[in-house]
Structure 1
């Protein structure tokens, strides 16, 4: 087994293509294919299913990818250690967040301190945030579930109640508050399965003996917002995420608040990477 073979396998696996892997490694496609074939032949194992110009990982390939993710992440950390000053002048930090506005102040401070570091932020719900971190597809996560199943370093940010909201011309727009039982009598617009907001709301309703049925299920906060703005039902969001939208009116939930806790999380094994550690240190300083 040679390093170049593992590297070829890894790039094919994460890019899903021999051609893309070749481009990333500045090699020819036949060279990449040959390295992967030699790795499979040497250990008599099939790492990719190849059919109709499509490739997918076999079970053995999935297991090997879990190892090579750690291997090449460790290599990257070693390079950062050997070039510490460069890492914070020209590195990249990947953040996946269920709501990026929770970290705007931290992002601002980080950019002011490390202007050379590129920050890439993308959206995700609780499940996809954790999955991205576990798969080494992101460095830091922002989510409303502070008890993930793996070993994470966690920095709690804030806790805000969930609020209902409707379009400004909705019959309930002038309502002072809505109970969970009252909500059950109206069309509801909910986030996709995996959304922490939806899960917390359903858990609170169940404790109160109320069953909530969502007339419309939409993927993403913005999709819910647009559907509600069109007058098609009642939506839900953390108060901190409601924002300013003249089309919408917030209606507090009556009774015990349904709280959404937000936190920064990172795989504990990756907290020593220079860019990750710098961001987490700033977050701790700003929250202390």
Structure 2
């Protein structure tokens, strides 16, 4: 087994094809194909299904990809260690969040301290955050539910209750609170399945003998906000994420408080990366300041 063979396999797997892997590695497609074929032949395994010009991983290929993810990530950490000063002057930090609101101050401070670092922030629900971290598609995540897995390092950011909200012109806008029974009688604008906010809300309603059915199901918090702002119905969000919006009116839900615990997380095995540690340190400072 040679390093170049594993590298060729890894890039075909993460890029989704031999041509894209060749472009990423600045090699020819035949060279990439040859390295993967030699790896398969030497160990008498099939790593990719090649059918109708589509390349997909076999079960053995998927298992090997999990190993090469760790292998090449460890290699990157070694490079970061050997060039520590350079690591904090350039590079990319990838963050996937269920809401960027919880990191605004941290992002600003990080940019001031490390202006050469490129930051990408991608939105997603809790399932997206977890899967992105395990797939090495993100370095850090922010989510509204504390994961139980010991594979994560966790920094709690805040804990706030779920509230309802409506457009300023909506009939409920003059109210301070609303019951679950009343909510069930209105058009409900809810996040996609997989959203912890939605899961907690539905579970609480069920415990009170109420069924909440979404009239509109929208992917992402901002989509829900805009639909609600148009007057289409009632939306839900944690109070910390509601912010200050002249177009919208918050409503307390008359039920035991449903708390959303926002946390910054990363895979424990990747917590030693220079960029991750630098961002984490700044987030801890804000947390202590709270």
TM class, shorter-length: over 0.9
Alignment-derived partner of residue 199 in structure 1 = 199
Alignment-derived partner of residue 178 in structure 2 = 178
Stretches of structure 2 lacking an aligned partner (at least 5 in a row): none
1:150 shift after superposition: 4.9
1:167 shift after superposition: 2.1
Tell me, yes or no, if the aligned pair for 1:93 and 1:120 is still in contact at 8 Å: yes
Superposed counterparts of 1:58-97, under 5 Å: 58-97=58-97
Query: Which digits, 9 at most, give the CA deviation of each residue in 1:48-83, with x for residues without a partner?
Result: 111221111111111111000000000000000111
Tell me, yes or no, if the aligned pair for 1:141 and 1:265 is still in contact at 8 Å: yes
1:206 shift after superposition: 2.4
Give the alignment's TM-score, normalised by structure 1. 0.96
Give the distance between the partners of 1:147 and 1:30, measured in 2 at CA: 43
Give the aligned length.
288
Alignment-derived partner of residue 28 in structure 2 = 28
Alignment-derived partner of residue 250 in structure 2 = 250
Query: Which digits, 9 at most, give the CA deviation of each residue in 1:216-244, with x for residues without a partner?
Result: 21111122122222322211111221234
Determine helix, strand or coil for the equivalent of 1:90.
coil
Correspondence 1:271 to 2:275: no
Correspondence 1:57 to 2:57: yes
Tell me, yes or no, if the aligned pair for 1:130 and 1:148 is still in contact at 8 Å: no
Superposed counterparts of 1:1-288, under 5 Å: 1-288=1-288
1:109 shift after superposition: 1.3
Determine helix, strand or coil for the equivalent of 1:136.
coil
Tell me, yes or no, if the aligned pair for 1:13 and 1:57 is still in contact at 8 Å: yes
Give the distance between the partners of 2:234 and 2:173, measured in 1 at CA: 10
1:257 shift after superposition: 2.0
1:88 shift after superposition: 0.6
